Amino acid sequence: MEYSSLLLENAVGALARLPGIGNKTALRLALHLLKEDALETEQIADALLKMRRNIVLCERCHNISDTKICSICSNPRRDENTLCVVADMRDVLAIEHTASYNGLYHVLGGVISPIEGVSPNDLRIAELVERTKKEDIKEIILALPATIEGDTTNFYIYRQLGDFKGKVTVIAKGIAVGDTLEYVDEITLGRAIQNRRKFD
């Protein structure tokens, strides 16, 4: 195959290195950019470069941020007494998207996983313990994945928080909203029955 343009070939090759973008999609995107005004390409390249060059991790919650302290941590309208512990910055976005939470976050950077070689020291657990001493936190919500690794990490954090005087809670596990019982897996359904709560 002769591309007739090395510039196009390079652009397609660069785009196709992105996850989930194959050669055909990359070609479609490149041809789209060629068809559109040049400003479009300039804006995309500029936005990507600015993001990659300037984004840092918030020094307080370790979420991605444009400034030393992120906009969530520095927002005076957020509840500073509640801290939600998540594995990944993606989880912050997911929780923000629910519009059900108004406290602060603490991004661990993963969960304990011996198989993938992630030990507690690779995560920001010590920083979390440190925050409980410095900040006026009344509740820590553990919002880690509902996996064995997530449970292990929950347990490890709980032990590390021995001196913490506030509440430690964990997000509810159960059947999803809209689920019909027959299609729910038996472990989830069993847990949902065990963890039943007063109807109110």
**Contacts of its own copies in 21-40 (CB under 8 A):** 21, 25, 27-34, 38, 40
Interface with its own copies includes 5 (CB under 8 A)? yes
Interface with its own copies includes 11 (CB under 8 A)? yes
CA distance linking residue 156 with residue 149, whole number of Å: 10
Count of residues near its own copies by CB under 8 A: 60
In angstroms, the Cα distances linking 168 to 19, 98, 100, 110 are 37, 21, 18, 19
Interface with its own copies includes 71 (CB under 8 A)? yes
Interface with its own copies includes 97 (CB under 8 A)? yes
From the list 48, 35, 21, the residue with the least C-alpha distance to 13 is 21
Please state the closest distance from residue 194 (CB atom) to its own copies, in A: 33
Interface with its own copies includes 76 (CB under 8 A)? no
| Contact pattern for its own copies over residues 116 through 135, marking x by CB under 8 A | --------------------
Interface with its own copies includes 70 (CB under 8 A)? yes
Phi, psi of 52 (to 5 degrees): -65, -35
SS3 of 63-103: CEECCCCCCCCCCCCCEEEEEEEECCHHHHHHHHHHCCCCE
Among 18, 126, 172, 193, binds its own copies (CB under 8 A): 18
Please state the closest distance from residue 106 (CB atom) to its own copies, in A: 13
Quick one: tokens of 55?
């984004």
CA 38 vs. chain centroid, Å, equals: 34
From the list 141, 86, 128, 130, the residue with the least C-alpha distance to 111 is 86
> Which residues of the shown chain bind its own copies in the complex (CB under 8 A)?
1-8, 10-11, 13-15, 17-21, 25, 27-34, 38, 40-55, 58, 63-66, 70-72, 75, 89-90, 92-93, 96-97, 99
